[in-house]
Structure 1
Amino acid sequence: MGTSSKFSEYIDDGKNKFDITCQYCKCLILLPRVGLYVVVKHMLPLMTQKNEEVTTDNGENLSDFWRIDDMYTFENIGFTHTVNDIKYLSCADCERGPIGYHILSTKKSYLALARVKNHE
């Protein structure tokens, strides 16, 4: 598994080494050693603030994600309405996002490393 040098300090034995929080409000999203580091190319819509509409017209191609196999593992997370078998993830407190996505058919969630903070 190729670890991007940009994120290698946050990964221990393939999992998140630290708490994962919202980069804006510091809401706790994921506890340590819960997310599995995966490289998956996926386009996420641009980040929005609370009450702004998320559209799939403009986006950012990302490839470094924490994969979470059970959606109930999250400490705090928000889910959008379904768009083509995908629900986008947002911060449960400030509602900024998308910070990742959830595939309904596989029941797996992917949290973008570039859109969250890792804290010791």
Structure 2
Amino acid sequence: MACKLWFVLSVWLLLAPSEAGRQMPKLSDKKLCADSECSHPILIAQALQDYYPGDCRFIPIRQGQLVYVYAMLKDRGNLFWAGSVQDSYYGQQEARIGHFPSSVVEETHALMPASTEVKTTKWDFYCY
């Protein structure tokens, strides 16, 4: 009986819904990037305040951190940008790219013009 209960509990834990590993609503249909792959940073910005994300599409930012901006979402008045924060939290790992409100940062260094319009895909808003 204990073995069956353990098996059922294990399967339930594996199949239980979670925020990670699922499609989230799109924030925009288009984004502005430096290139068609959005692989080059557009600018470096500094956080004006702490930002705590509401879901896994977004990244946490602490006041004073530098943020590398890779894309500016286009459809909603440029309210959200996509970028990454690199600090000791990530160690040797690559920083995670996520979204954040453009209002919580200020541009410090322009790097490349955001002149390439790219359609967003479901993977832009997928939670891992």
Same fold judged by TM-score > 0.5?
no
Q: Which has the higher contact order (CA 8 A, sep 6+)?
A: 2
TM-score, normalisation: structure 1: 0.28
**TM-score, length basis structure 2:** 0.27
Tell which structure's C-alpha radius of gyration is larger.
2
Q: Which has the higher helix share?
A: 2
* Higher strand proportion: 1
